[in-house]
Amino acid sequence: MALDRRRINGPEESFPPIFDSDALQWKVGDARKDRSPADIRPIFLQPGLISQANGSAYIETAKTKIACAVYGPRQSKNTAYSEMGRLNVEVKFTPFSCIRRRAPMRDAEDRSIAVAIHQALVSSVRLELLPKSTIDIFVTIIESDGLDGCVASGSVAASTALADAGIELLGLVTSCAASVVGKEIWLDPTEEEGRLSKGTLVLSCMPALKKVTSVWQTGEMKVAEALGCMDACQEKCTEIHSVVAQALLESAKI
């Protein structure tokens, strides 16, 4: 657009105002605001919302909203012969998913979340039954409330979508995040809590087999804290598993 030099032009970019009062609502050391440290936010999970996909799921935990679609197995294109199937995970943030607008193009964060979700799922899929084929998982993050929450909820949604698509799995994968804030372990941290924490851990496991498929820890943690986070997450994963089970059974019976 041509710049009109005869007038005073507005700024080229604009950003939402940041209020001091928002940032200062609580600080490290305070008690958690809306829930107790070991509580996770309520989960809404619905398989089969995207009808054109082979399988799909939509998950919502408070402000995190993720839609996931599974296509395939389809023939692997442009790759060498492989005895095992491939799992291809792609993550997209919608431009309006964060406080700052995200330009609609692939960026670094998308890929690191995709890698984390891939790691959580890859051991649960019976890829040996699908030679030469690829399963595509598309995860769309409609609203994000912290990266760790996106990884955890994204893994749960993707595993539900895989089950909905009728792809053979060793077990359902559920996933939970935990942060060390001050001296306490807070489960399922929000973006703000994650920012103020020392370190964060996301654990993905198959509760039915009692196996861990992925641990994704960043930041600083004592060994005991990390192990404590893992135990707490694993316990919560069992609870999340029953949510997933109920959602899948309801959709299977219809």
Partner 1 sequence: MSSSSYCLPGQPIPLPRNGPVPQLGGGIYVRDSELRASLVGIPQQEGPVLSISRVRPRPPAINSVVLGSVTRLSPLQATLSISVVDGVPLPAGEEFTGVIRSQDVRATEKDRVKIGDSFRGGDVVRGVVISLGDARSYFVTTARNDLGVVFAVSEAGKTMVPVSWQSMRCPETGRLEKRKCAKPE
Partner 2 sequence: MTSISTSKAEISYIQSGLLSTPPLRADGRGLHDFRTISLETGVAPLANGSAHLNIGKNPHDGGGGTEVLAAAKLEVENVDLGGGEGVDGGRIVCTVSCSPSAYPHLSAPALDDLQHDMSTLLHQTLAHPSLHPPNLGILTGKKSWLLNLDCVVLADAGNTYDALFMAARAALWDCKVPRTRAVEYKAAAAPGAQAVESGEMDVDHDAEAQQSGFDTRSIARAVDFELPDYWDEGKVLGGRERWPVCVTLNVPPGSKGPLVHYLDAIPQEEAATPLRLLLVFSFPPASSPNLQAMRVLGSGELESDQIRDFVANGEKHAHKIWDALNGKLKEEDHRRGQKARDRFARR
Distance between CA 222 and CA 43 in Å, rounded?
Answer: 30
What's the closest the beta carbon of residue 186 comes to partner 1, in angstroms? 28
Distance between CA 62 and CA 227 in Å, rounded?
Answer: 27
213: nearest Cα among 176, 163, 167: 176
163 binds, among partner 1, partner 2, none (CB under 5 to 8 A by kind): partner 1
- Tell which positions 76-115 bind partner 1, by CB under 8 A: 76, 79-81
Site mask for partner 1 (CB under 8 A), range 35-64, x = bound: -------------------x----------
Cβ proximity to partner 2: between 38 and 170 the closer is 170
Neighbours of 150 (CB within 10 A): 27
- Tell which positions 168-227 bind partner 2, by CB under 8 A: 198-199, 201, 205-206, 209-224, 226-227
74 binds, among partner 2, partner 1, none (CB under 5 to 8 A by kind): partner 1
Distance between CA 139 and CA 161 in Å, rounded?
Answer: 10
Contact 58, 45 (CB under 8 A): yes
Cβ proximity to partner 2: between 215 and 243 the closer is 215
Distance between CA 177 and CA 190 in Å, rounded?
Answer: 10
Per DSSP, the three-state class of 64 is: strand
Residues in contact with partner 2 by the rule CB under 8 A: 13, 15, 108, 111-112, 115, 119, 122-123, 127, 198-199, 201, 205-206, 209-224, 226-227, 230-231, 234
